[in-house]
Amino acid sequence: MRSYSLLASAKINLYLEIIGDRLDGYHELAMVLQSIDLVDRIDLRAIGTDTIRVRCDHPQVPPDKNNLAYRAADLLAKQFPDALAKYGGVEIAIHKQIPVAAGLAGGSANAAAVLVGMDLLWQLGLTQSELQELGGTLGSDVPFCIAGGTALATGRGDQLSPMPDCGPLYVVLAKFRNLSISTAWSYQTYRQQFSSSYCAPEDLDCRRERLHSGPMVGAIAQKDRSKIGQLLHNDLEKVALPVYPQVLQLREAFDSAGVLGTMMSGSGPTVFALAESQERAEEVQERVKSAIASPDLDFWVTKFSNTGIRIVSDGN
Ligand SMILES: C[C@@](CO)(OP(=O)(O)O)[C@H](O)COP(=O)(O)OP(=O)(O)OC[C@H]1O[C@@H](n2ccc(N)nc2=O)[C@H](O)[C@@H]1O
Ligand SMILES: Nc1ncnc2c1ncn2[C@@H]1O[C@H](COP(=O)(O)OP(=O)(O)O)[C@@H](O)[C@H]1O
């Protein structure tokens, strides 16, 4: 039986600006997305029957048809029935390290790994852009999770322009264990509060004038780490910080710890901070840990990564 193991990277949002409504009901965005070295391992194994099975060691992750990894496999099975008939179904085992519903795209990264791994398992020979096209139908962040690295993401987050690697930067992440924020809630609440300032879908001048991502794109091109820290931005903080005092508390604690910059990632509630070295990142972690002193607070120290999906073993 053929099998593959893959590592799927989480992402953080260095920049997230909401431009307006789209005709498909989503939001038009300008984001800078960055892969980090916090990964889930996905083991894929060909099984004799034509079914898809999912196992996951995390209690909050559904081991059924609602799992994004299951949906990725099901999508390929529907698109390529001949491959399903030839190679059989697949068992997907997810070993979670990326916190769930945390604004770090864990589910999207798992779906991305399944698309990349099943392309190999079923010898489909799809290109990266074909995989991304399929991934975009599962979720807006999936195309980026396939590509990884650093990218400017526009449209609903699925139109990617790769950006240069901005050099070694270290990341401290913190999240209250029992707190999660729904992405759908974040965008809906943002729309309720701010849609009066949205650009209309057809108003291209408004869209061009609204975009403020240029300085961040420039700072990355120049590998200017302090500027990257200063220019971090996330419009979704406007809805999360007033409702979730724990997120605000983390933002303030990181700010006082003397970091290059700090921001909520995506729809939250994870807050990250950037540091110039691993040592400095560990110091920041200790400072925030003692400032907040909560047994419910989890931390991770990691670094920027230039890959989305890594194949770690091909156990044919
Ligand atoms: C906010 C971000 C930032 O990177 O990430 P997370 O915090 O979820 O990790 C993304 O935009 C999330 O991407 P993803 O999680 O793939 O979202 P989807 O499944 O496509 O959509 C989830 C929900 O968010 C809304 N949504 C998503 C993307 C977008 N451009 N506009 C939206 O309004 C959709 O209407 C849907 O209700
Ligand atoms: N493979 C998966 N890993 C994580 N969450 C998943 C997965 N499949 C479905 N989900 C569901 O998707 C939701 C969002 O999870 P996740 O992708 O981790 O967060 P976010 O959208 O904040 O980046 C959760 O409620 C979770 O139950």
Contacts of 138 (CB under 8 A, 6+ apart): 68, 71, 72, 75, 108, 111
Check residue 1 and give its pLDDT.
59
The pTM of this model reads 0.97
What's the 41 CA to ligand 2 centre distance in angstroms? Answer: 15
Q: H helices within the chain, ranges in order?
A: 68-79, 81-87, 106-121, 128-136, 142-147, 183-194, 204-210, 214-221, 225-230, 237-243, 245-256, 278-292
| Alpha carbon of residue 309 to chain centroid | 12
Tell me which H or E stretch contains 7: strand 3-21
Q: Please tell me if the CB atom of residue 61 comes closer than 6 angstroms to any atom of ligand 2.
A: yes
Tens of pLDDT along 157-171?
A: 999 999 999 889 999
Check residue 208 and give its pLDDT.
80
Could you tell me the domains of the chain?
A: 3-163+306-312 (3.30.230.10), 170-303 (3.30.70.890)
Answer yes or no: is the ipTM higher than 0.90. yes
CA distance 263 to 27: 20
Catalytic annotation present for 238: no
Tens of pLDDT along 40-58?
A: 999 999 998 889 999 999 9
Q: Are 35 and 11 in contact (CB under 8 A)?
A: yes
Helix, strand or coil for residue 241? helix
Nearest CA, atom 5, ligand 2: 107
User: Can you name the residues that pair with 242 across neighbouring β-strands?
Assistant: none
Instruction: Convert 290-309 to b/e letters by CB count within 10 Å (16 or more is b).
Output: eebeeeebeebbbebbeebb
pLDDT band at 316 (very low <50, low <70, confident <90, very high): low
Check residue 207 and give its pLDDT.
81
What's the 188 CA to ligand 1 centre distance in angstroms? Answer: 10
Nearest CA, atom 23, ligand 2: 105
Tens of pLDDT along 290-299?
A: 999 999 999 9
Check residue 315 and give its pLDDT.
67
Q: Are 103 and 133 in contact (CB under 8 A)?
A: no
Check residue 142 and give its pLDDT.
98
Catalytic annotation present for 141: yes
Q: Which ligand is nearest to the Cα of residue 111, counting in written order?
A: 2
Contacts of 209 (CB under 8 A, 6+ apart): none
Check residue 201 and give its pLDDT.
83
Q: Please tell me if the CB atom of residue 67 comes closer than 6 angstroms to any atom of ligand 2.
A: yes
What's the 222 CA to ligand 2 centre distance in angstroms? Answer: 34
Helix, strand or coil for residue 15? strand
What is the 8-class DSSP label of residue 234? E
Q: Please tell me if the CB atom of residue 114 comes closer than 6 angstroms to any atom of ligand 2.
A: no
Tens of pLDDT along 57-74?
A: 999 999 999 999 999 999
SS (H, E, C) 153-218: EECCCCEEEEECCCCCCEEEEEEECCCCCCHHHHHHHHHHHHHHHCECCCCHHHHHHHCCCHHHHH
Choose the catalytic residue: 141, 158, 175, 235: 141
User: Can you name the residues that pair with 12 across neighbouring β-strands?
Assistant: 34
User: Can you name the residues that pair with 301 across neighbouring β-strands?
Assistant: 172
